[in-house]
Copies of this chain bind each other. A is one copy, B any other.
Amino acid sequence: MDITEVWEDLAWNQGGKIVYLILDGVGGLPDPQRGGTELQVAETCNLDQLAKESSCGLLEIVGPGITPGSGPGHLALFGYDPLKYRIGRGVLSALGIDFDLQAGDVAARANFATLDQSGRVSDRRAGRIATDFNRELTQKIRDRVSLDFDGTFFFETVSEHRAVLVLRGQGLSGRLHDSDPQQTGVPPAEPRAKDDASQLTAKLVRSFLDQAKAVLADESPANMVLLRGFERYEPLPSLQQRFKLKGLCIADYPMYRGVSRLIGMDLVDPPGGIEARFKALQTQYAKDYDFFFVHVKKSDSLGEDADFDSKVSLIETVDRLLPLITTLAPDVLVVTADHSTPATMGKHSWHPVPLMIYSPHGRLDEVAQFDEYTCRQGMLGIRPGTHLMGLALANAGRLQKFGA
């Protein structure tokens, strides 16, 4: 029995409200030329003030040396051990466009791509076509492709070159190899079955790809569809079922909306921008929710762009807007990240992320700045990412005593 299951047993439908402010990828590494990490260099008087009033520490989100994707990173923060609850991008993408996935559906991520005259992939993203053009193409495919089985398929625009394929019917499997070769200069791969039980699905997918190629033959630059991350959708137990939390997601970006829907949160319409998200929290806070997930995406994107200075500015923007949240005086307010994305590396990394938990029952520490180094000295120590939900629940008075 792992510790998250103990929380399930102990959680009750009483106690305070919990707000998670997740600054995606905000953890960083020091840039010697700038004299610190992104969080250290940023001027953040509001975050620092909150640190003074909070218990601080570091979270090692999935485990030592593990660089988390955004899906597992968030699952860990929500108390779902990513080593146990595995979900792929296909399912997340479908959930993230508000697609009503049903148990047993098979989803895959789709890219519009460019094939050269010899049939080799010359651009896996078809020059990042506009979303409107994507919509035209998906409509054509829906109109003209027909699959011969006792079920249906859905082909849905996400944005730019991205789309989702969903197959719905009996006996489908997600155990298929990608058709996306993940490189240019080679032809698309065969979506081969990984076992016998997946032969039917592989046949349907091949038929879909053959027909889609024919439909797109005269298009440019998007003359092909590549598929990856096939996965059969099995819903996860919800936050309500596990921790007696009625949750609300306040996020713009599909992936994070998808994770939230996967564990049964309600969602507000994408607010569009950080300030709008913080204001949405203000509007929703008094409503009948126990748990609010507020997501900031750009700290990650700018880290991935290796744009140290812009990541610093983004952190300062969040800091400036933070009073929109703190004036609500949430019972428990958590600020942390789903993983580090150091601008010096330009990608996700395994480094632990700073954490602060503001709560009336916090054991306050000497930490007076919110960054990777000062939080290391805090009372919470370094912990696995899954610990966070237990601490948040306890601080909110939402866990009963264990044993007598």
Contacts and interface: CB of A to CB of B under 8 A. Distances in A.
B64 A402 contact: no
A376 interface: yes
A364 interface: yes
Contact of A69 (B92, B361, B401): B401
A301 to B, nearest CB: 15
Contacts of A7: 65-66
A350 interface: yes
Contact of A390 (B63, B82, B376): B63
Nearest to A378: B376
Contacts of A402: 62, 66-69, 72, 82
Which size bracket describes the interface of A in this complex?
Answer: 35 or more
Interface string A367-404: 00000110010010111000101111111000111111
A176 to B, nearest CB: 16
Contact of A30 (B351, B364, B372, B403): B364
B29 A89 contact: no
A88 interface: yes
Interface string A63-100: 11111111110000000001100111100100000000
Contacts of A88: 403-404
A160 interface: no
Contact of A403 (B1, B86, B372): B86
A355 to B, nearest CB: 12
Given A30-B363, A365-B373, A404-B71, A387 B65 contact: yes
A186 interface: no
B86 A363 contact: no
Q: A82, A376, A399 — which one has the most chain B CB atoms within 10 A of its CB?
A: A376
A399 B66 contact: yes
A174 interface: no
Given A363-B29, A376-B379, A404-B88, A3 B399 contact: no
A3 B64 contact: yes
Interface string A106-145: 0000000000000000000000000000000000000000
A70 B402 CA distance: 9
A404 B92 contact: yes
A111 to B, nearest CB: 14
A197 interface: no
Contacts of A86: 403
A322 interface: no
A345 interface: yes
Given A3-B63, A66-B399, A83-B1, A89 B404 contact: yes
Contacts of A83: 1, 3, 6
A391 B361 contact: no
Contacts of A363: 29-30, 351, 372
B66 A350 contact: no
A393 B63 CA distance: 13
Contact of A361 (B92, B349, B395): B349
A403 B63 contact: no
Given A3-B64, A63-B6, A379-B376, A361 B404 contact: no
A229 interface: yes
Given A6-B83, A229-B404, A376-B379, A399 B65 contact: yes
A75 to B, nearest CB: 9
26 contacts: A6-B62, A6-B83, A7-B66, A10-B66, A29-B363, A62-B402, A64-B383, A64-B387, A64-B394, A65-B389, A65-B393, A65-B395, A68-B401, A69-B402, A69-B403, A82-B402, A87-B403, A345-B361, A349-B361, A349-B394, A350-B394, A351-B363, A363-B372, A372-B379, A376-B381, A381-B381
A-B pairs with the 6 shortest C-beta distances? A65-B390, A65-B394, A69-B403, A72-B403, A89-B404, A64-B387
